[in-house]
Amino acid sequence: AVVSAGKGLGTMASPAIDQVQLSRQLYVMGMEAQTRMAQSDVLVVGMGGVGVEIAKNLALMGVKGVAIHDPTPARWADLASNFYLSEADAEAGTPRASACLPKLAELNSSVRVRLHTGGLGATDVSRFAVVVGCCLPLADQLALNAACRSAGSAFVLAEAMGALGVVFCDFGSSFVVRDPTGEEPVVRVVTAVTSEADGVVTVHPSERHGLSPGDAVTFDGIQGMTELNGCPPRRVTSVLDGHRFRIGDTSGFAPFRPGNGHVKQVVQPLTVSFEPLDVSLERPTFVATDFAKTSRLAGTHALWRGLHAFRGRDGGAGRLPAAWDIGEAEEVLALAEGEGCGGSGASTFQASAPEGCAPPPPDAPLSREAATCLACASSATLSPMCSVVGAMAASEALKACSGKFTPISQWMYLEASEALPPAGALTPADCAARGDRYDGQRRAVGSAVQEQLCHSSWFVVGAGAIGCEALKTLAMMGVAAPIPGSGPASSSSSSGAAAAAVDSSTAAGSAGAKAGRVVVTDMDSIEKSNLSRQFLFRAADIGLPKSATAAAATSAMNPLIRVEAMETRVAADTEDVFDEAFWRGLDGVVTALDNVEARLYVDNRCVQFGKPMLESGTLGTKGHVQVVLPGSSVSYGSTSDPAEVSVPVCTLKSFPSKIEHTIQWARDWFEGEFAQAAEAANAFAADSAFLATIAGTPTRVETLERVVGVFASASAAAPAQPSAAAAAAGASAASPLSPVARACAAWAREQFESLFNHRIAQLCHTFPADATNDDGLPFWSGTKRRPRPLAFDLADPLHRTFVASAVRLRAAMLGTEVQTDTEESVDALAAAAAATTVAPFVAKDEQIARDDEELAAMQEAKGDGGDGGVAAGLEARLPAFGAAKGRHFAVIAFEKDDDLHASLLAAASNLRARNYGIEELDVMQTRRIAGRIIPAIATTTALVVGLVGLELLKLAQTQLARRGPAVAGRVRTKPITDHRDAFVNVALPVLTVTEPMECPATTVRLPAGAKYVPPGLSADAVDVSVAREWRVTMWDAVDLKGPMTMQELLDWAEEQFGMEVDSVNIEMATLYNATMASMPMRAAVTRQRASMTIPKVYEAVTGTPLPAQPSVQLLVTLAPPEEDDDGEEEEEGPELPVVTYWMSPEELDELRAASATKAEA
């Protein structure tokens, strides 16, 4: 069988793609793949938690149609994972597919969602490009796969059995992957190619080539060795290093000469062969997900088959093992070890280590204990696992539709036994059904953990794509959603609920116990582009606040959840809202943010208050999860990505070599002409001292040119009094344009001439074609491309677009609207621009900087900005615009989602690219780069949030265990080795999980008599009369309550730590330094500041008050002891953990008053 991507397309016309709604997704999939998806129908069989997740993702991502099939009546256990089933559905036993249909149909009006009520034979499935079998008995999966093979349809198996997930793919014997990775092809500047039997290509040292053996490349612009230009793709035979690789025989080619040649990677299709399910069952191939568990894959596969063998006993589709029934779990293991399931007898599973002995090594086979736990929980439905499996399966279905990205070959297991309680911790009675929506999850974790979740408090920061998925996951898991009448189970951290958001309302029947809360905050409103992945929103919600809308949708999924929506930014200036009580009342934080700065702030607060943080993010097909565990792991801020490499100014101004350079240049020009120019003109009109203010600045001439340009346009646009003859004749037949349109068209033509002709001609004059560098090599080589001036062409579409877009925006800045929505209006504007008289180019003896170092030297030589004569001439023109000086001009900043803005910026960028022979880019891709838009798809988001949910399940067990065995029973604290960070790339496909990094620790030796007792220890357990060691990590924190004077701080530190203070700092401000304080000349200042409170000392040192925030962090370093243990003097003293100084109400009031006074000033 051969499966074709987009099967069943027939001869239908290409569907219309909503490029606004799908904009972020199109940056990942591309228009070609999206079109094939929009022509493909998919059948999803089985509408449990996995099936509804798959159908949701397919609908969001815009396939042609989704058919769903499942006549199974809804049960209470389904509500733990199927977010489109309700209590009423469970009570009435509504067929699952019928119940889910209306809500799935709301997700995307372009996708037809319907019930499939027919059979599942080859004829029935032949109309579908892909069929996904979800959580079906193995016999049914085998039959469905056989039908798909016969019909030529792709087949995906998806199943979640408690903490065990599996995805299997069969796309036929010969499936063509058009784009295996989805990455942008590599393009690099070539600096050398050798002539030999296996030629070596060297690329410019500014960038690594990024190629691997077997990659295909071609060339353009090569000088000398022109045989390479446009050659058929040549394979990279080997990679020598990051800048050199071999491409085979070049011995017969002409010698290479330095120039502007490029090597370009060529994406090559990949043909993949799949085995049918019945064959692959016996000889499986696996995609590893946890490299610490690669040796467990065979055992996991056997266990999965054993579970199906148990389910299919007596030839029927029976049940899975009862929850935590050890006897039935042992039956499953016995079946898995048999030949019928591919087991290898007693060696299938690693024997568990006796209690007190070291556990088996990570590379050991699946342990009997883990296998037992997985079997015991296999009947459970865990929403996070359903999200992971559903996202992966939907990704595979979309690959079959589009032919884009590499499919799974052929089995992928996610075995999360570490998310379950240990074997023997639960009994069947602990997991017994109660006839409520958590029955499915209770089977995995027991009633005590479920109660812990129901009464916990979590903070979701952000209500975008990740935030929506996180809220859904929390609702399904029952976080802050107790069953009415259930007993209180709030943990110690949530019992003091935050006053600002976690109020004192009580759960019904909880006799005064405070219930948990989910608090979600987001300042943004819903836009149409959100709808392709932020699945809690609908078209009718556009313009509404994200947080409130998401909270309402979450409550509809689980009416029990206590969720509060806010529209407040989480930052230093809102610490009066998200205050100490708020943070201390949380059990944890889920970040759903799109910028590093906000992540770092939330991370810092989590460290300060000792709260776990579940951090995740996505970038197209890639995603990550980081678990931040108080006291044990590093935090988000402990590591950082490499700093973004900035583009040299001279590259942007004169020597672009990439389209990214021309886009940045165009954005700078846009901001200068439509935002900064208007701001400067308004400032000149309003401030009589404006000219004096800019005098001496390096940008004086540039600013004056913009001001003069704005007022010149405004003056030219003002209609003059018509003569009597003109009034009688009416509008001029030669020019039907308004004065504003004519003035703006003239300005646009002058801009064109200056930007794309005169400046380029001057650059070519300053550096002629035969120019050389100081080393004698050609100047125009490597990354320096010699440009060519452009002549304005009335018939060129790009020239016309530039003029029409520039005119509309210039007129808008002047407060007028010019229409360009008809071809006739664009014709008239282009003709007016062409008719504008422009000065011819005159070459100047002008110095142009070759690099930023030379540019800095030139600017320094100018001193106050130079060009005094030019500036004086511009200032002399300003009085002539007196009539226009009273006007106010609109400041137009670039907005990435504004089509007019994107059109002009793309036109300007592509005209400059045409100057330099750089490949041009369409408006959509230009918008992405200029607006720094993050590509995103629904499947990656759902996948990472599912992994976040598994970590939250582990944290709930830890929080329960810390309440003591009387409540937790045998549920244990999860060590750091049970948690998982993750990296995913669904394009490859890769899902890799690893243990979090442990936080580093230092040891502080406290001398005898030091009274400090570290957190977690009782005073009775510490003998302060003897010297002792204190293991300090980033999680250790010290709190001080104000008001406290500097002397009181010094005395406190010496009493607590037995050492004098060496220094006290707040960021870069030194409030106290022992060496300076001991100087006689500083005695008066030292005495004065000793009696001042910490905020007053800061103000005295810096001359400005502290921000009006409830707390400030101090960096306190202790003086070294006179001698160490070896009798030698120590050079440095220990640094205390972060000391948080909490303002007293009086101190905070004073800071607020000072802040208000400063704002008024």
Residues annotated as catalytic (active site), given as ranges: 650
| CA gap 54, 159 in Å, rounded | 11
Q: Which two tokens stand for residue 312?
A: 């299919």
Query: Which residues are CB-contacts of 728 (< 8 A; sequence separation ≥ 6)?
Result: none
Q: Which two tokens stand for residue 788?
A: 């060519």
Do the beta carbons of residue 547 and residue 567 sit within 8 Å?
Answer: yes
Dihedral-angle region of residue 865 (phi above 0 means left; psi in -120 to 50 means alpha; beta otherwise): left
Cα–Cα–Cα angle for 110, 111, 114, rounded to 5 degrees: 140
Residue type for position 192: A
For 609, other C-beta atoms within 10 Å of its C-beta total 18
For 166, other C-beta atoms within 10 Å of its C-beta total 20
Burial (CB count <10 Å: 0-12, 13-18, 19+), residue 641? exposed
Q: How many helices (H) and strands (E) does the chain have?
A: 38, 32
Torsion of CA 687, 691, 694, 695, to 10 degrees: -150
Q: 129 by DSSP, 3-state: which? A: coil
Could you tell me which residues are beta bridge partners of residue 1016?
A: none
The count of C-alpha atoms lying within 13 angstroms of the C-alpha of 1081, restricted to the half-sphere facing its C-beta, is 1
For 836, other C-beta atoms within 10 Å of its C-beta total 18
Residue 410 preceded by cis peptide, ω within 30? yes
Burial (CB count <10 Å: 0-12, 13-18, 19+), residue 639? exposed
Find, among 390, 479, 434, 379, the residue nearest to 76 by Cα.
434
First-to-last CA distance in the chain? 78
Do the beta carbons of residue 159 and residue 389 sit within 8 Å?
Answer: yes
Q: Are strands 270-272 and 175-177 parallel, antiparallel or unpaired?
A: antiparallel
| CA gap 835, 847 in Å, rounded | 32
| CA gap 55, 38 in Å, rounded | 15
Using H for helix, E for strand and C for coil, what is the string for 570-626? CCHHHCCCCCHHHHHCCCEEEECCCCHHHHHHHHHHHHHHCCCEEEEEEEECEEEEE
Q: Which two tokens stand for residue 477?
A: 């898991």
Burial (CB count <10 Å: 0-12, 13-18, 19+), residue 1136? buried
Q: Which two tokens stand for residue 538?
A: 């609908």
| CA gap 310, 327 in Å, rounded | 12
Q: Running DSSP on this structure, what letter comes out for residue 1131?
A: S
Using H for helix, E for strand and C for coil, what is the string for 455-504? CCCEEEECCCHHHHHHHHHHHHHCCCCCCCCCCCCCCHHHHCCCCCCCCC
Q: Which whole-number Å values give the CA distances from 794 to 799, 803, 863, 1026, 1051, in the listed order?
A: 7, 10, 43, 90, 81
| CA gap 1034, 280 in Å, rounded | 49
Q: Tokens 């993702």 identify what position?
A: 57
Do the beta carbons of residue 20 and residue 528 sit within 8 Å?
Answer: yes
